Structure formats: structure tokens, C-alpha cells
Structure 1
Amino acid sequence: MTKLQLITENFVETIIKLAEEAGEIYILTSFVMKSGVKRILPALQLAASRGADIKICTGDYLSITQPEALQLLATELPEAEVRMWQSGGKSFHPKAYLFRSKQDGHLIVGSSNLSLSALTGGVEWNLHAPSALDEEIFEKGLFEFEKVFYHDYTIPVNLETIRQYQEAYDHFHKSQSIMRTFTEAEETEMMFSEPSDQAQIVNDPSEAYTIKLEQLIPRPAQQEALQALEDTLEEEYDRALVVMATGLGKTYLAAFFAQRFNRVLFIAHQKELLVQARKSFLHVMPERTAGLFNADFKERESEMLFASVFTLGLKQNLGGFDPNDFDLIIIDEFHHAAAKSYQSILNHFKPKFLLGITATPDRMDNKDVYSICGGNTAYRIHFIEAIQKQWLVPFMYYGVYDDTDYSALTWLGTRYDEEELLQVQLRGEMAEKIETAWNKYRQTRTIGFCSSIKQAAFLSSYFNNKGWRTVAMHSKMKGYSREEAIKALDSGELDIIFTVDLFNEGVDIPSVDTLLFVRPTQSLTVFTQQIGRGLRIAEGKPHCVIIDLIGNYRNADIKLQVFDTREKEKDGKRQTVVPAVPENCRIEFDLAAIELLKEMNRKRSPRKEQLRYAYENLKLELGRRPTYLEFHLNANADSKTIKEYYGSYPGFLQGIDGLSDKEEEVFSQYKDWFQEVERTVMTKSYKMVVLLYLLSKGSNKWLEPVTPEEAAPFFHNYLTSKEYRKNKDLADKQSSRLIEYDERKMAALIAKMPMTKWSGSSNGLVSFEGNQFKIQLNVEKEDEEILFEWTKQICEYRLHWYFERKGKDQ
């Protein structure tokens, strides 16, 4: 079929027919009903059995989506990736179905949601456009689907998130009439419609504004990082992470490093990042070919390929590449939602080296890249350290008290309800307070970070009425194009650009010397990226002024950690709520703001709360309870504080009411053992390696005694199977050469180091007598599996953390 087709009845027949041959199926619908899922489920299951890539995105708008429908998808179609848009009361009405086979693609948009009525007998209009008629429209549809599917407002659909949604669904339907609420929402939408989402701008790169090209000689930070990567290669690592503060040139660093490799793949989540990375790489290597691989271009034969994670991750596209096509793969910082797409790409390719690059200074803010790079951080520099080395300009931070009460606003897990937030933000007295603070501290060129397009437009209008020259940068901006606005701010023709997230990544104006934060900070990563927009060195720019409104919103005190590089005290606490900064920087707060921060700090344990919040988020993302190592690698929190506050990972689970009745019993019975495994001193890895050997025997045999001779082969194999392990713990102190394997000598080492020493320090929990090493626990049969699993989790976590730390110390 090569013509448009209007489908007004039995839409389900079209879906089933297209699903029969499709290798890719993408469904975007505002709500799903159990009746609709059941009707098309057999066709989707058949497609999944053939290996089809299936992605479904729906929404929670007005709680119409049925939890039973989500449950059906999660349990009966586990191969599919399903996500839900959290609307926060904002309308969510898309209905689109995309199918692609080896021969062609099909895009269908119209009125049908995923319900039996809409698929079969309802009055529905859907327009079917085959790719043979217009390939560009089909690719545009894929691109727009990607933006929604991996948006920060979406969450994975799994048993945990369904349970959470069920509670909200039940609460809503106890007190609300769907039809009345739906009608009221539609009337509000028509009366107070807003411009389309700013992502439209972010993903449309600017060619008109070009930052001055950097010199081809690596700058000092880049030189240090390059040397660290060279050392990493010599140690035979095949992957590493570089953490480099915004403004130090992490993309150019990647380009310099890429010179030693033949074919290079650079992956990012935004088109703009790809376009700018391509420019940087061509500046370093103009003799090479550089192509884009996204919704618009498929320049796959290029020597350097800059690819969108979503487009590359599509099954049809990924299958067109040989696993050995690229020598170097570079992953720019990416959204957690897209982690599965990155993993499928990395499972396909076999590069000689994998490099992750990120600008966020704290590893827990970018666990995704960290995890993919195997926990090996080759180089790290915090923006505070870069300021001390005069590689970035210093800052003057002013914390201005905001008396707005945020405590009554609905929290949606990652952000406040947008409409409720706007009610407190769009007030004249609030705008006046912001304008007064800005005028008191400002310099010449300001970026104002807002929480919504409506707030940006409101503040721009208010400031303009006061005689200032400002614009709100979004897709419906009037008077300026995006490029013109950036140039006008750079030249001094504008005082402020109010925006939402446009300047988080990819766009820099070095001359910007003032940052204005008028939004609750919900992400340390975003806050750090936004601060970086003002720290680049520029002629005539002595420092950057940061004006930040501090209210009683979530994480108001925690976000100040981005300025703090001090060591923690033994109890894990900071000495004061106000961070210490370099001498050439300054942090000042209104007295009321200081009192607010102290009160927030006093009322709660921020680090304990952060641990719980990070755990719950990761549990929702995984759809199950994370293991200890998964928490360490992927949660947005510092795993070391688990031992500080709770003694062990099972202790943490017990402390947040995360255990079943039986698990509570096991934890109470063996609490001392869990703490012993967690806290026993490890100057080398030996104790945990021996314990890992015991655990390798299985849950019903791991408590049986073993001899050093019996453990020796496993011990030696574990410590020599990876280069980073043998370099750390099996090298001769004098020669640094690897100790040759000799069973007798290895057994003697094991007997002396882990077995005898652990026996003497374990308060009777471990014994080594008559050449027999044994864990002294009397375990009931019904406790075996839980005890074994938790011991294994702690052991694996401690080994990973040990070698990770040793790697950093080199």
C-alpha cells in the first residue's frame, strides 16, 4: 500500500495484520484499558516470540488507565518495554501506532486509545501513512515517540510502579467523577493553553551561534585526563569513566582520545549534543569523515559516527552494524530512562575500549554511565577544584529567602504538581521579590532558570514592564528567534533569558556572568549543569554571580552539597549547613534562609532520607528490590552511608520497613553476622574472596568447613582472572610482579592472611582450627536461603567496592 488510508472501523484488524510482520512495534496512547490490551495481546505475544522490539507508552491523566491493563502487559508481555507518562494534571492525549518490518514502515495517528471500544466498534478516525508514501514523516514519528517515551516525566511500568499507581487510582475514583473532571480539565486546557514543550527547541540545533573554536592543543585538565586514560589502557582496562566539570571541554577530551582509534561511535540522547560533538571531533580530526545517525540522517559508513541512542537502538538499525564495526565507543551522560537502550547497544558491539564522559561531579548523580563503565573512574575533577586551579571562574553565591510555602504542594515522585506550583509562582509579589534580589546582585548577562514555560513567560513580561530587556525562550517566543536571543544576550542587548532546561547541556554562552534560580531544585545533576553555564572563562569576566531562591521545598538543603568538597566527619555529617568554598569564592545567605536550612536539617536526617528516597526510586525502576551491588551502582545515593547508619544492607531494609515477617526473623537472628561481613576490616580482598568461595558451594553447603588447600585454586583464579585484581592483591611488594601459582604457598598465604586473622577478630563468628575454616552459625533449614542470599549480596558489594576504591587510589 502506497497511499493514505482513513480507518473508521475495526481498527484492531489493521493492528493485528501489521503486527504479524513487524520487527518493531511502538504504541503511544493516552490511556490503556484491560479490554483493549486483551484484544491485541495475542498478536503482540506472537510478535515478541519472533524477537520483535515492542515499546508501549501510556499516561496517568485523570487516572483513566486501568491498573489491570498495566498488570496484563507486565505479566503477559514481559518482553515489551512499557512506560507511563506522569501528567501531573496536564493533558496527555496522543494516539499513535508505529510498525516497521524489513520492507516498510507504517505510521497511524488518530483518535483510538487502547480500549476495546476504540479498537472495534467505537466512532474513531485514524489516518494510516505507509513509509513508502513519505519516509520522512515515518522517521519524524519515530523521533517524536522517542522524545515522549524517554522523557523525564515517564516511569517504567512494572509490578512496583503498578502497585503505586493502583493506590493513586483507587484514591482518585473514590471522590472523583471521571466525566466531570475530564470536562473541567478540557475547559481549563482550552482557556489556558501553553506553548508546546521546550524539547522542540532543545532538539533543533543552532547553526547560527558558534562558540569560538578551542585550540588543538589539549588544555591542562584535558592533558591530565588523557594521561589518566593512557594509564588505564596500559593496565589493560577496556572501559573507563571520565568526570569533568562543565566548561573544561569533556567533548574535546573525547576527541583527542579518539585520535588513537580507527572507527569511533559517539552516543548521546539529544540531537544537539550529537551535532556539537561532531563539530568538535572534526576540529580535532578534519581529515576524517563524520556522520550523524538519528531520525534525520543515516550516515553509517562514516569513520566517526554520532548516533542517537534511540535511533541506533532500534532493532532494524542496530542489526545493520557488525559487532566489531567500532574500535572506540563514547557514551555521553544520558537519561536514566534510556538505560535499557544503551545496554542493548553495548550488548551488540564489541569495541576495543568504552569511554563514558559526564560533567556531574558526584558519581551518585550519574550512576548509569558509572555502572556501564564497570565502576572504573579514570579521571575526576570537581568544578570547585577547577576553580582553584583557575580553569574556571570563581562564583559569588547568594541564597535569597523565599517565604513561599511548598509543603502543601503535591509531590509526584520527581517533581511538584505543575498546576499547583504555578499557583504559588505566578504572583506579583513573588516576581517583585525576584526582581529586587536580581537587581541587587546581578552583573551584565543573566540566564534565569524557571520550572515551566508559563513561569518563564510570566517573569519575562513582569521584568519587561519594569524596563528590563528580557525574553522567555521557548517554541512560541515572539520578537526573537532562538539564535537571535542568544546573540543578543552575548552582545549585551538583552539583560536576561528566562528558560526552563534549555541551557542544561550543549549550549554555552561564555560571557554569561549571572545565574538566577527561581525554581525548586529537584535534581542535583541538573543544578550542577546549570551552574556550569556561568563558570566558563571569558574576557572581562572576573566571576559568576549565582542568585538562588531558598524555600522549604524538597532538597533545598541537600542541593548545597554540589559546592561541598570537604571530608565528612566520622558520623557522616557535615559541620554546618553552609558549605566551605575556596577563598576566591563566596557563599552568603539571608538570615531567614540560614534559619530555614538549619530547621530543615534539624527536623530530618537528610542523608537517611536520601538513602530511602533513592532506594524507592530504584525499586520502582527495576520493578523489584535492588541487590546491594545494584544499589551501589545505580541508586542516586552514597552506598557507604548504609553501613554508617544501619550497620548492613539487611539492616537498612529493616530500618525502612522493607522486610517481610520471615525476613524480619532472619535479620533479628543473624544481625551480628551481617554486621561482621559488612564491617570486617579489609586491607586486602582476601577475606571476601574466601567467603565468595564458600558461597560458590551453594545455599545448603556454604557453611561446611574448608581447608586452605581446598580454597587455593578458586582464590588464585579469582584474583588473576581480571587484570585490575591481580595488580592490586597478588603482586610481590618488592618487584611488583605477579606471585606465581604454587598450591602450597597459596594455601599458606590463605591460612595466614584471611583465615587466621578473620578468626581472631570476629568475636567467635569465624573459626580456624585444625586447618579447618568455618563460619560458626547454627542455621535453621527455613532460614538458609535468606541468610545465604544476604551474605552473598554483602560479599559481592564489598569486593566490588574494594577494587573500585583501589582503582581510584592508583
Structure 2
Amino acid sequence: MTNLQLITSELIRHLERLSGNAKEIHWMTAFTMKSGVQKVLPFLKAASNQGSSIKLLTGDYLYITQPEALELLLKELPEAEIRLWKSGGASFHPKAYLFRGTENQHHLIVGSSNLSKSALTSGVEWNLLAPSQADDQAFEEAEDQFLKLFYHDSTISLNPETLAEYKQNHREANRQRPFSMAWSAEEETEMMLGPGEAQEIAEGGVDYETKSASAEPLQPRPAQQMALDALEATMDEEYDRAMVVLATGLGKTYLAAFFARKFKRVLFIAHREEILRQAKQSFMHVHSEKTAGFFNAAVKETEADFVFASVYTLGSRHNMERFSPDDFDLIVVDEFHHAAAPTYERVIEYFRPKFLLGITATPDRMDNKDVYAICGGNVAISIHFLEAIERGWLSPFRYYGVYDDTDYSQITWRGTRYDEEELLAMHLREDFAQKIFEGYMEHRQTRTIVFCSSVRQATFMNDYFRRQGIRSMVLHGTTPAEERRKATARLESGELEAIFTVDLFNEGVDIPKVDTLLFIRPTESLTIYTQQIGRGLRLADGKSHCTIIDFIGNYRNADVKLTVFDETGEYGEKRGRFAEPAVPEVCEFNLDLQVINLLKEMARKRAPRKDALIAAYFDLKRELGRRPEYLDFHLLADADSKAVKQEFGSYFGMLAHARELREEELQVWETYKDWFIEVEKTGMNKSYKMVVLLYMLSRGPENWTDPITPQEAAPFFHRYLTEKEYRRRADLSDKTGRRLIEYDEKRTADLIAKMPMTKWSGSEKEGKVLFEENRFSVQLPQPSGEQTVLLHGWTAQIADYRLHEYFERKTR
């Protein structure tokens, strides 16, 4: 950047001028005040009306940001994307204003001004304005970093639900510590707070599988060959997208490289630079004759055979449109569970490849989006780490569940995690460190990764271990990349015995010789927990097994976390019990007696599981800004929707338990509870029952329970099952089904009468579902008024959910 300009007053004039010519407006301020919003709204609204893309990020640190400011933004800028950084008590202090202009004229302002009247006009502020031309690296890097923060796990979308929650938290915070209440439009003096811990944007490490290319042509490993065969079959069936789930350590990046032999041009997308570097190495080992380039904040190599792109850089409309939608034959999205972010969605919607491949070790919906829908509901193959261990592809483990007597019930739960300061008060104690050290010394092997809850905890524990003579160090998101690479090499060589880290070794990092994992943090995400376990399961010379030392207390998810070790069924469903995980014979599972008693008590109460489902519901409600429907919950919530009917009988039973139903809705639930549970739980070897019910519902709230004949339902039934390829494959592929592909009313009606109508009426014992004299009906008390609409709508929600879940399971 050149021609830097120092702005010491009236920043508002520059923001207004630059907004008038900007295609994209990206602002990030620690604090946002109503007075500041009032100043910028006129020209932001004008920019929005002209089609500018607006993203605004602000923070909740110390609850200084005013709810009235957020409310005004939400009301007056409906097209803008606004997110709130959930600081959890850690410092959040950025102030940056980015403008991507027309004709490749861009501007970046970085300085001291928050979004308040005084900061934008007459306050004592220093800001630097830096104009840039196309592809200016500093501007591109700034935008890349902005998007990483904007879509970080610590942010939430601003909507009516999250605004209401912020208002409540703001009120409570200011009763105890009335900072923000002192701010007014008339007299605003900026409160500048000292730097705290840096926020962690964790990056991956080095890939030790990709050291140097061999002269011998690389051949797929057995797991990779199985996956390639599955993808081949998927393409033969004319699918154009699929997901592959390979446990960590089975070489999913190399799988993608081998699969790429079928395609001319490939776009590989990931969210971390180190994953992209590793992927390029892997691809070039397999395709030494091809050209490869990066597309990120630093470089824009668009003509290579293989382009390795940062999703944050590619997600900008300006950058994405450098490519034609059909430029690539194959698109690979790594760590496909991250496909949740709106950035990924825009990229996936823009391009039209011959095939889209998602690869991941953990398909759980940690990002609150439907991964399966993005890949057309088609999971080509899924190999769980337990299966890989049984086949000898990954290292066995010995698990030690060690009792942690910390009383986590005394720590405030902040919706998605424990209050950081309260948790630290419990953990930053010598007696806690001593207990951890004793457990470590009893079970450890030679090379250990220690997973901590915060940088301060990692630093504290590292200091304690070093005083006991352990060769250890701390790595976290702000550690320079080169230092991280050196540290992992030192651990690999044995020079270091342990590395303390915070969410840094979750994905994209392979250190095969790691033989001990130590968990000293509450488990908040089963996906992350699974990723972390995978860090120790790589095979290595001289390594007989991986030791997992897991400190278990009465924290949330403690009784659920062990399901990651459960035996899995045909479709990936869990079959084990919480306190009695099923593991391969080659592994050992050891729990302290106190841990066994704790887990049995938690499993007996089962409240944590109910709490987890309800917490996931409220998280999703905040994300959507409205009450989620049943299918929304299945597709978007960070929870297993199958647990809903196990715990509550029905989705609407869960809403009743969560006190989410109005009085009229509660009456509907109590009156028709048995019917809703019947629709939830009736057996479905085929989709036919729900398809017939869907036809009945299509007649509207007033008439849907009226009797129907099989002949009436036949056209709808046939059209529904044949209009989508995945439905035909799932339910019309056997001998009987194939005869129905060409429409024949008598054959279709005979099938409906014989199967869904007869079987459902025969299995339902309460007389609600009848099939008599060739007429099928649902017998329910007659509703009135709003109850009519609710009964119809809720039944439709259950039917939609069950059909989606059924076909999703079948395609897997």
C-alpha cells in the first residue's frame, strides 16, 4: 500500500466517501454505540440499496456495545450480515474498515476508532487510511483475516433471538459493573482497555506423510482403495457429488489426489493455509507432471491445473468471479464439516464442476448446517476409527478415564461453553496441576499432546510440568507458524516430551509418533474430541498403542463423550451405552471407579442428554432468529435428532419440556400427544407410510384426516417416489419397486393397500389409523380454530423430518 493518510478527526467523512463507491464493505469494531450507528446509517443504507455487500462485526467484551445500537442495525440494514464476537471475557479490540471498490480501487482504514459518535467525529483518535490497487497483498491479507474472524466459531449471527439474549446479558453485566450505562450520545469518552489474551485462530501443523516424493509411483493404501472403489460406484450411478468420511490417519488428502486422476482441472478448498500447503505436496507426489498454484491473500495463481484456494479469499465475490463457473472438473472441499460457513455455500453454489467431493474425518454438524444436503445426501463411504483399528490401519489405544473432582456445576454455562474466568479459577491451582501431573506420570508413554481449555491454563500447566522436570512447551494460535513447525519436529524426535495446546491439533496435523494424549478440559464438542483422539492413532515404527488419559468430571457432555468409542451400526448410528462403550478387543478401556459411578449416575438421570438437546435447540433458535422446525433441527442443530424421540417422545414434546409452547400449543400437545408420538415412532422399512401421510396432508388443515382410497393416493405416491433419483434408488430398486417406475394405477394402488395402509393400521393399536373397506383414515378428536392449523402443521413437520432422515440414511 502507498500514500498512507493519517486521520485524526472526522473519520465519518472518509467512511461516507468510500462507502459510496464500494462493492464490498467490511467493518470490524470492538464496541458499537447507538450514536455511531445513527451517524453511519444513512450512507450504509444507500450503499446497501445500490447492491453493496455489507458485513459488520462487533464484540460483546465487557458488554460495552449497546443493545440499542445492534437493534438499530438489525432494523435499518436488513440486507447486511451482522455478527457478534462472543469474547467469553477475553479482550477483543480490533478497529478496521475495509472497502473493496469498483475498478480495483480498494481502501483499508485501521486505527483506534470504534463505532461511536465521538470516535467518528471529534474524539482524539488516530487512524491510517491506506489505498490499494488490485491484488495488493496487504489489503487481501486484511480481508482474509477479517473473514476468518467474521465466521469464527466465537461469532454468532445477529438476529432477534441473539439480540434478546444480548440485551439480557447486557442488563445483568451492568448491574454488577455499570460501564456501558455511563455512555451517552452527548458525552462519549472512548474507554480504551489494555490488551488481553490474543484470540486464537488455530492453524494446522505439518504433514509428516508428505516429506519427499518417491521415485516409485504412489499407490493407494487399502482404505483409500476402498474409498476410490466407492467413488467409482457413485459415479457409475451418475451422482455428481459425494462425501467421503475417513478417520484421521487414513490419508483422505491422498485419496483426493488419487481420485483427481480422473479429472483435468481441480479446485481444492480449505480453511487453513497449512492444509492447503500439505494438500499441494500430496497432489504433486501423485501428479508430478501437473502444475499447481495457490489462491489466497498472498498470491492469485488462477491458471494452474490444480488450484489450492483459501475459502476466505475465494469467498469474496470479487475473487470468485476471476473464475468461470465451469473452470474446474473436480472440486474438493477438505474438512467438509466446515462447509457450514456461508462462504463455503457461496463458493459451492457458484461453481459447476463435473464432480464435487467432500472429505472429512468427522461429519458431525458442528457448524449447524446440513453437510449431507450439500453433497446431495450421498456418503460414498464412511470408515470409523474403530473399524480402521480393527483392520490394522490405525494404532490401538488404551483409554484411562481419570476422576476429576472439580465441581463444574458451580461454573456458569455461557450457552456453548463454561465461563472462562470461573473455569480458570478452578483450574489454575497447584492441587489441580498436581493431580493432572500424577495421572500423566502413571500412564504416559514418550510423546504427549495435552489439550487445554485456554492459553492461560496451557501456560500454567506447562510451567508446573517444567518445574517437575518435564521437557515441554506451549503452542497456541498466536505462536508463529515456523515455531509451531519446529516444535512438532522436536516432539517427533523426542527432544520434547509434551506440548500443551488449545484447539491447535484438532485437524490438519500429523505427528505419527505421538503416543499419549492428555485431556484436561471439559469436552464441549464431540467432533473436536474425535479429531483430537485421531492425533494419536497414526501408525509409527516402535509404537504399539496410543495412551489416552482423559480427566472426567461432572461437566456437560461427560456422559455422552464416550459414545465416540461406541460400536456403530450400518448407517453410523451408535449402538453402545454411555457408560459401557463397545471397543475392539485390541484396545483397552479403563475407568476409575469414581468415574464409573459418576457416568452411571449421569446416565441414570439422563438429564445431561436432555439438557444438551435443549441447549442445541436454543443455539439454533439464536442462529436462525426464529423457532426451528423439526427438519431445521435435524439439518442444522449440533445434536443427534434421533435422540429427540428417545428422550421426549416427539420434537413437540421437547418444545413443551423447554417451555417453548404457548398455552394454545400446549393444549394441542396434550390432546394429540399419542398421535404425534405414533407418527414419530411407527416403523419405516420403506418410505411408503409417510408418503401416504404427505398426500393426506396436501389436502389442507381442514380436510387432511378425511378417508382416502389407495386409488386416490396413487398419482401422488408415484410422482413423489419417481421425481427424485435418490428416492427411486432407495425405494424402487427391488423387484416390486421396479415394476412401479412406469406408472400403472392398479399396480400402484395395490401396493399402497397392501403395504402402508394395511401395515400401518395393523401395527397401530389405539385405533387412530384405520384401513377398512378400502378406505384409509386417521381418527383424531376434532380440533377447532388455531388447533386445526397446529395439528396439521406439526404432523407435516414430523412427516417431512422422517422422510428426509429416511432417505438420508438410505443414501448413506
TM exceeds 0.5? yes
1:711 aligns with: 713
Between the aligned partners of 2:414 and 2:44, the Cα distance in structure 1 is: 31
CA-CA distance at 1:132 after TM superposition: 3.1
CA-CA distance at 1:575 after TM superposition: 4.7
Between the aligned partners of 1:36 and 1:364, the Cα distance in structure 2 is: 35
**Cα distance change, pair 727–656 in 1 and its aligned pair in 2 (3 A):** same
CA-CA distance at 1:241 after TM superposition: 1.8
After superposition, the C-alpha distances for 1:124-146 in whole angstroms (9 at most, x for unaligned) are 22211111399222112112212
Between the aligned partners of 1:493 and 1:294, the Cα distance in structure 2 is: 34
Task: Tell me if structure 2 keeps the 8 A contact 1:356–1:370.
Answer: no
What letter is aligned with 2:175? K
User: Equivalences for 1:71-220 in 2 at 5 Å?
Assistant: 71-103=71-103, 104-132=105-133, 135-178=136-179, 189=194, 194=197, 196-199=198-201, 202=203, 211=211, 216-220=218-222
1:440 aligns with: 442
2:800 aligns with: 796
2:68 is aligned with 1:68: yes
2:649 is aligned with 1:651: no
Between the aligned partners of 1:337 and 1:208, the Cα distance in structure 2 is: 26
Tell me the SS of whatever aligns to 2:409: coil
1:765 aligns with: 768
**Cα distance change, pair 303–704 in 1 and its aligned pair in 2 (3 A):** farther
What letter is aligned with 1:278? K
User: Equivalences for 1:731-810 in 2 at 5 Å?
Assistant: 731=733, 733=735, 739-762=741-764, 763-768=766-771, 772-777=775-780, 778-808=782-812
Between the aligned partners of 1:181 and 1:601, the Cα distance in structure 2 is: 48
Between the aligned partners of 2:740 and 2:238, the Cα distance in structure 1 is: 15
Between the aligned partners of 2:481 and 2:425, the Cα distance in structure 1 is: 27
Instruction: Specify every segment of 5 or more residues in structure 1 that has no aligned partner in the other structure, as ranges.
Output: none
Tell me the SS of whatever aligns to 2:28: strand
After superposition, the C-alpha distances for 1:646-690 in whole angstroms (9 at most, x for unaligned) are 222222222221212222122223323322322333232222222
**Cα distance change, pair 366–530 in 1 and its aligned pair in 2 (3 A):** farther
Percent identity reads: 59
Task: Tell me if structure 1 keeps the 8 A contact 2:208–2:511.
Answer: no
Alignment TM-score, normalising by the size of structure 1: 0.92
User: Equivalences for 1:399-418 in 2 at 5 Å?
Assistant: 399-418=401-420
**Cα distance change, pair 72–701 in 1 and its aligned pair in 2 (3 A):** farther
Aligned residues between the structures:
799
Tell me the SS of whatever aligns to 1:240: strand
**Cα distance change, pair 727–296 in 1 and its aligned pair in 2 (3 A):** same
Greater mean deviation of Cα atoms: 652-661 or 772-781: 772-781
**Cα distance change, pair 446–213 in 1 and its aligned pair in 2 (3 A):** farther
Between the aligned partners of 2:575 and 2:261, the Cα distance in structure 1 is: 44
**Cα distance change, pair 9–645 in 1 and its aligned pair in 2 (3 A):** same
Greater mean deviation of Cα atoms: 374-383 or 402-411: 402-411
Task: Tell me if structure 1 keeps the 8 A contact 2:339–2:371.
Answer: no
1:19 aligns with: 19
Task: Tell me if structure 1 keeps the 8 A contact 2:84–2:156.
Answer: yes
Equivalent in 666, 673, 676 of residue 674 of structure 1: 676
**Cα distance change, pair 616–211 in 1 and its aligned pair in 2 (3 A):** farther
Tell me the SS of whatever aligns to 1:202: coil
What letter is aligned with 2:692? V
**Cα distance change, pair 186–680 in 1 and its aligned pair in 2 (3 A):** same
Greater mean deviation of Cα atoms: 71-80 or 591-600: 591-600
Between the aligned partners of 2:392 and 2:108, the Cα distance in structure 1 is: 53
Task: Tell me if structure 1 keeps the 8 A contact 2:61–2:86.
Answer: yes
Equivalent in 371, 382, 398 of residue 396 of structure 1: 398
Instruction: Specify every segment of 5 or more residues in structure 2 that has no aligned partner in the other structure, as ranges.
Output: 184-189
CA RMSD of aligned residues (A): 3.1
Equivalent in 481, 484, 488 of residue 483 of structure 2: 481
What letter is aligned with 1:454? R
Tell me the SS of whatever aligns to 2:168: helix
2:34 aligns with: 34
Between the aligned partners of 1:284 and 1:261, the Cα distance in structure 2 is: 13
Task: Tell me if structure 2 keeps the 8 A contact 1:150–1:337.
Answer: no
CA-CA distance at 1:99 after TM superposition: 0.8
CA-CA distance at 1:108 after TM superposition: 0.6
**Cα distance change, pair 293–702 in 1 and its aligned pair in 2 (3 A):** farther
Between the aligned partners of 1:75 and 1:180, the Cα distance in structure 2 is: 22
Tell me the SS of whatever aligns to 1:172: helix
Between the aligned partners of 1:651 and 1:478, the Cα distance in structure 2 is: 50
What letter is aligned with 1:142? E
Between the aligned partners of 1:760 and 1:518, the Cα distance in structure 2 is: 53
Task: Tell me if structure 2 keeps the 8 A contact 1:107–1:128.
Answer: yes
**Cα distance change, pair 164–9 in 1 and its aligned pair in 2 (3 A):** same
User: Equivalences for 1:361-376 in 2 at 5 Å?
Assistant: 368-376=370-378
Tell me the SS of whatever aligns to 1:28: strand
Between the aligned partners of 1:490 and 1:186, the Cα distance in structure 2 is: 46
Between the aligned partners of 1:491 and 1:683, the Cα distance in structure 2 is: 54
What letter is aligned with 2:755? M
2:596 is aligned with 1:586: no
1:430 aligns with: 432
2:470 aligns with: 468
**Cα distance change, pair 550–110 in 1 and its aligned pair in 2 (3 A):** same
Between the aligned partners of 2:13 and 2:88, the Cα distance in structure 1 is: 34
Task: Tell me if structure 1 keeps the 8 A contact 2:206–2:508.
Answer: no
Greater mean deviation of Cα atoms: 649-658 or 694-703: 694-703
Tell me the SS of whatever aligns to 2:20: helix
Task: Tell me if structure 1 keeps the 8 A contact 2:403–2:552.
Answer: yes
Task: Tell me if structure 2 keeps the 8 A contact 1:572–1:641.
Answer: no
Between the aligned partners of 2:751 and 2:737, the Cα distance in structure 1 is: 18
CA-CA distance at 1:338 after TM superposition: 5.2
**Cα distance change, pair 347–745 in 1 and its aligned pair in 2 (3 A):** same
2:238 is aligned with 1:231: no
CA-CA distance at 1:187 after TM superposition: 11
2:517 aligns with: 515
1:288 aligns with: 290
1:354 aligns with: 356
CA-CA distance at 1:510 after TM superposition: 0.6
Between the aligned partners of 2:481 and 2:77, the Cα distance in structure 1 is: 50
Between the aligned partners of 2:477 and 2:773, the Cα distance in structure 1 is: 77
2:43 is aligned with 1:43: yes
User: Equivalences for 1:294-693 in 2 at 5 Å?
Assistant: 294-333=296-335, 339-360=341-362, 368-474=370-476, 481-565=483-567, 575=577, 577-693=579-695
CA-CA distance at 1:734 after TM superposition: 7.2
After superposition, the C-alpha distances for 1:97-146 in whole angstroms (9 at most, x for unaligned) are 11102321111111221122322333322211111399222112112212
Between the aligned partners of 1:597 and 1:68, the Cα distance in structure 2 is: 45
CA-CA distance at 1:273 after TM superposition: 1.2
**Cα distance change, pair 286–600 in 1 and its aligned pair in 2 (3 A):** same
Between the aligned partners of 2:52 and 2:93, the Cα distance in structure 1 is: 26
Task: Tell me if structure 1 keeps the 8 A contact 2:715–2:745.
Answer: yes
CA-CA distance at 1:69 after TM superposition: 1.9
**Cα distance change, pair 482–729 in 1 and its aligned pair in 2 (3 A):** closer
After superposition, the C-alpha distances for 1:69-89 in whole angstroms (9 at most, x for unaligned) are 222222332222211111122
Between the aligned partners of 1:324 and 1:108, the Cα distance in structure 2 is: 36
Between the aligned partners of 2:59 and 2:6, the Cα distance in structure 1 is: 25
Greater mean deviation of Cα atoms: 581-590 or 773-782: 773-782
